[in-house]
């Protein structure tokens, strides 16, 4: 077989493309990952062609059977992919024709690789979203378990990386949970726009064959066919949305990684990494390094880069399909692999983390975490807040000079700053009291954090039902497709 006969489009050409052009334009090394989806999409298309009488029923049957065989092979990991063929779509069609003969040549009726590739990638992204949401739910559940144990564990809350007000560790961990919950919601929302079927859009303008787009859409578990063929073959919004959702999540995970790097440092000592999630140094025998947390932080760069690549790729492309768009898949796969690799490891790492409650509590002794409470106390005794702020500021300045904390000042010392202050004021600013007092909705008081855990669990239940319901629905779709 000459080079040109291996192409799907050789008719137009007197000579085949150069080897250089072939290897330059090939996407096989990347899109081979889509083999399963490509075959599944082709089965649905073949069933539709034969249901509509566009291919003779016996041939349609033969095509579907041949494809089902290929599906088995790809599942067993032994699909015979040829490096000489430019992409996975060409490989599947050519394998089919090798196996079942000329009937295979009817498969591509009323279809273009333009609607095909979008269908494949949408099916990939759909599964990627469901896996990601399931993993996000696992991480949330680990964090919530840990948060529940730490409702009374006091630690400094930070702004500008400076001590701000006392909070509980449970409250702090729940802040991460709510971020991750928004991420899950974002993925599930993107899912709706991903889950529409491009098949039937053809190259760009639809087809003159009497196709049934509802049939293929349903057979592949999509909500419905897309609306405009030209938009369909040009649209990679779903890939960008997915990449953004991955990036936003990676930015959250990166912050968590950074926090663990800090917390496990000797300066903080808020936590110790389990041996299972730490590594050593090849030269310094004493080292226990938080490499997993550092790599999570580092890998966020890949997600950010991928998102930028996709935005730049799509920016300014004229309608409709342009070959540039072949460069979309690498970033989608990379973002997916990056994010899932981090989600798999971060939950177990938090599960095994040993918090040092004593260290956290001791850290609260410095930094005047109760200064706001002392000012609020003066307000309750009638002083305008701005003046109270000044008074407490002066008390803090005095304490810094004396090497004391606010709560260790004597009543006499306090009174220098305001006559309104007395022993009751000192009781008011014990750190425990400060923590428990913040009982406004969303606050750090233990009963409020318990409410937050309840809210988050409720929401997670909804996401879980949606995610696992969809996974089960798709399993059924694939069972039916194999019939």
Binding site for ligand ARG (CB under 6 A): 27, 31, 87, 113-114, 117, 321, 323, 325-326
DSSP string, 124-182: HHHHHHHHHHHHHHHHHHHHHHHHHHTTT-EEEEEETTEEEEEEEHHHHHHHHHHHHHH
Token output for 477 = 């779709």
CB nearer to ligand ARG: pick between 318 and 403: 318
Decide if 160 is catalytic: yes
Smallest distance from the beta carbon of 18 to ligand ARG, in angstroms? 17
Residue with the two structure tokens 């899109």? 31
Whether the Cβ atoms of residue 246 and residue 238 lie closer than 8 Å to each other: no
Q: Give 50 or 119: the residue with its C-beta nearer to ligand ARG.
A: 119
**For residue 461, with 0-12 CB atoms within 10 Å meaning exposed, 13-18 middle and 19 or more buried, which class applies?**
exposed
Rounded least distance, CB 321 to ligand ARG, Å: 6
Where residue 77 falls (left for φ over 0; alpha for ψ -120 to 50; beta otherwise) is left
Q: Which residue of the set 2, 160, 210, 440 is catalytic?
A: 160
CB nearer ligand ARG, residue 122 or residue 172: 122
> What does the block give as tokens for 322?
């342009």
Min CB(37)–ligand ARG separation in Å: 13
Q: How far is the CB of 481 from ligand ARG (least distance, A)?
A: 22
Among 18, 82, 265, 281, which one carries the catalytic annotation?
Answer: 281
C-alpha 2: how far from its chain's center? 45
**Cβ–Cβ < 8 Å for 443, 453:** no
Count other Cβ atoms within 10 Å, centred on residue 427.
Answer: 11
Closest approach of Cβ 350 to ligand ARG, in Å? 39
281 is catalytic: yes
Shortest distance in whole angstroms from residue 86 CB to ligand ARG: 7
Q: What angle do CA 225, 201, 309 make, to 5 degrees?
A: 90
Ramachandran assignment for 166, one of left (phi > 0), alpha (psi -120 to 50 degrees), beta (any other): beta
Rounded CA-CA distance 32/122 in Å is 15
DSSP run (H or E) holding 351:
helix 329-351
Helices and strands of the chain, counted as H and E runs: 19, 6
| Burial letters 150-180, b for 16+ CB under 10 A, else e | bbebbbbbeeeeebbbbbbbbbbbbebbebb
In whole angstroms, the minimum distance from the beta carbon of 196 to ligand ARG comes to 18
Query: Annotated active-site positions, please?
Result: 160, 281
């Amino acid at each position: 077989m000459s080079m040109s006969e291996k192409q799907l489009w050789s008719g137009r050409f007197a000579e085949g493309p150069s080897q250089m052009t072939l290897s330059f334009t090939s996407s096989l090394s990347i899109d081979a990952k889509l083999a399963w989806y490509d075959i599944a999409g082709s089965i649905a298309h073949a069933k539709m062609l034969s249901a509509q009488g566009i291919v003779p029923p016996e041939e349609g049957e033969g095509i579907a059977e041949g494809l089902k065989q290929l599906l088995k092979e790809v599942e067993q990991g032994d699909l015979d992919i040829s490096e000489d063929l430019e992409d996975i779509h060409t490989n599947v069609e050519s394998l089919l024709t090798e196996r079942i003969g000329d009937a295979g040549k009817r498969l591509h009726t009323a279809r273009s690789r333009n609607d095909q590739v979008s269908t494949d990638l949408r099916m990939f992204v759909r599964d990627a979203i469901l896996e990601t949401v399931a993993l996000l739910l696992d991480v949330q559940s680990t964090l919530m378990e840990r948060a529940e144990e730490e409702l009374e564990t006091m630690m400094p809350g930070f702004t500008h990386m400076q001590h701000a007000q006392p909070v509980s560790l449970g409250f702090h961990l729940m802040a991460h949970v709510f971020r991750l919950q928004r991420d899950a919601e974002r993925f599930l929302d993107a899912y709706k726009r991903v889950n529409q079927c491009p098949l039937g859009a053809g190259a760009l303008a639809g087809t003159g064959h009497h196709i049934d787009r509802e049939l293929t859409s349903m057979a592949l578990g999509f909500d419905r066919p897309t609306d405009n063929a030209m938009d369909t073959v040009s649209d990679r919004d779903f890939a960008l949305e997915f990449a953004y959702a991955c990036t936003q999540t990676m930015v959250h995970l990166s912050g968590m990684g950074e926090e663990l790097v800090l917390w496990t440092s000797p300066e903080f000592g808020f936590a110790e990494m389990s041996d299972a999630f730490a590594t050593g140094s090849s030269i310094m025998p004493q080292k226990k390094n938080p490499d997993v947390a550092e790599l999570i932080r580092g890998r966020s760069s890949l997600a950010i880069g991928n998102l930028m690549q996709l935005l730049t790729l799509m920016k300014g492309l004229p309608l409709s399909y342009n070959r540039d768009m072949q460069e979309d898949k690498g970033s989608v796969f990379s973002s997916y692999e990056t994010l899932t690799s981090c989600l798999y490891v971060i939950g177990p790492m938090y599960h095994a983390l040993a918090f040092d409650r004593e260290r956290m509590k001791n850290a609260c002794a410095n930094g005047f975490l109760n200064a706001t409470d002392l000012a609020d106390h003066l307000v309750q005794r009638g002083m305008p807040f701005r003046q109270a702020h000044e008074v407490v500021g002066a008390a803090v300045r005095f304490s810094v000079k004396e090497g004391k904390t606010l709560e260790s000042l004597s009543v006499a010392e306090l009174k220098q700053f305001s006559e309104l202050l007395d022993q009751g004021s000192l009781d008011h600013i014990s750190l425990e009291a400060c923590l428990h007092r913040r009982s406004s909705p969303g606050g750090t008081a233990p009963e409020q954090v318990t409410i937050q855990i309840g809210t988050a669990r409720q929401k997670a239940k909804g996401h879980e039902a949606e995610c696992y319901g969809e996974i089960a629905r798709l399993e059924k779709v694939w069972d039916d497709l194999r019939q």
